Amino acid sequence: MIEVAGVTKRYGGTVAVADVSFHVAPGEVLALVGDSGSGKTTTLKMINRLVEPDAGRVRVDGRDTLTLEPHVLRRSIGYVLQGAGLFPHRTVAENVAVPLRLLGWPRDRIDVRVAELLALVELDESLAGRLPAALSGGEQQRVGVARALAASPRVMLLDEPFGALDPLTRDRLQRSFDALRRRLALTAVFVTHDMAEAVTLADRIGVMRGGRLVQLGSPAELVRAPADEGVARMLDTPRRQARLVADRLEGRA
């Protein structure tokens, strides 16, 4: 569904992303994990051409992304930003309707679809007329997801979608997303620096460091045969923490 082949991005003298390649199968969710500056977000943005690659090719649904106008390409791909990136001067319903209006849907169909989407992301209908500022962070992020899903894209890109939320909200949203993506058979790439989140939500994980894709595989593969010391440590940390939490909660330490 998504084929990334040898993409590279330089900013001035520094290489942000170096020769990264991977495939994402239909219905698969891939997590890109790495520290800040590892090139994971830049790689994500090269898929819908928010960032133009200096070299390499990207295909989405079999088509070279360079054959499409960038805005046309983006309308077919859902995109969720950290902190939702909602339009502060538009109501919840209007925010969700933006992709539909860009596609020229008629008014009555938009209204029906918006109601459907709000239900899908478990938002109360009464919020439809509110401005984003009146919503909690979790609610805002749900609106962001609803907006990304509005035009029924088959591919979703998510840039640290749950990064700015409190742990409880985060957990609830993660579970909603997991349910949604199975129900809609979404193909998705999401960026996170949280290995626990990647393990929970992704079918496969790509570990990035210094602009390179260091290892790509299922969580089990990564644990069994980590490419290097760093990858091993990244996977070990959440495990150790989880064990520690479980031990203390059960009074064993």
Partner 1 sequence: MSEQLALLPGYLSAHVRLTLAALAAGILLAVPSGILVHRVRALEMPVLTLAGVIQTVPALALLAAMVPLLSALGLPGIGPLPAFLALVLYSLLPILRNTVTGLGGVDLAVVEAARSLGMTSGQRLWQVELPLALPVVVAGVRTAAVWTVGMATLSTPVGAPSLGNYIFGGLQTRNSAAILTGCVASAVLALVLDGLVRLGATGLAGRRRGLLAGAGLGLAALAAWAWMPAVRTEYAATARPILVGAKTFTEQYVLAEVLAGVVRAETGRSARVLASLGSTVAFDALRRGEIDVYVDYTGTLWATVMGRKGAAPPREEVRDGVRRWLKEEAGVTLAASLGFENAYCFAVRGETADRLGLRTLGDLARHASSLSLASDYEFFAREEWRAVESAYGLVFRERRTMDPSLLYQAIDTGQVDAITAYSSDGRIDALGLVVLEDERRAIPPYDAVVLAGPRLSREAPEVLATLRSLEGAIDAATMRGLNRLVDEQGLSPAAAAARFLAAPPVGGT
- Tokens 């938002």, located at residue: 123
30-38, 56-64, 75-83, 117-125 -> range binding partner 1 (CB under 8 A): 75-83
Helix (H) or strand (E) holding 10: strand 2-11
**DSSP labels, 162-182:** TTTS-HHHHHHHHHHHHHHHH
Interactions with partner 1, residue window 193-232 (CB under 8 A): none
74 binds partner 1 (CB under 8 A): yes
**Contact criterion met (CB below 8 Å) for 244 and 253:** yes
Q: How far is the CB of 74 from partner 1 (least distance, A)?
A: 4
- Contact, 91 vs 130, CB < 8 A? yes
**In whole angstroms, how close is the CB of 229 to partner 1 at the nearest point?**
35
How many residues at the interface with partner 1, by CB under 8 A? 22
The reply on whether position 11 binds partner 1 by CB under 8 A is no
103-128 in b/e form (b: 16+ CB < 10 A) is eebeeeebeebbeebbebbebeeebb
The whole-angstrom separation of Cα 188 and Cα 221 is 20
Q: Does 63 bind partner 1 (CB under 8 A)?
A: no
Find, among 84, 47, 32, 28, the residue nearest to 193 by Cα: 32
Using rule CB under 8 A, residue 81 touches partner 1:
yes
Residue 93 makes contact with partner 1 by CB under 8 A: no
Q: Binding pattern to partner 1, positions 102-141, x when CB under 8 A? A: x---------------------------------------
Under rule CB under 8 A, residue 98 binds partner 1 = yes
Nearer to partner 1, 99 or 211 (CB): 99
Helices (H), 57-191: 70-75, 92-102, 107-120, 137-149, 167-183
Q: Which of 85, 137, 210, 217 binds partner 1 (CB under 8 A)?
A: 85
Q: Which residues bind partner 1 (CB under 8 A)?
A: 48, 50, 71-76, 79, 81-89, 98-99, 102, 147
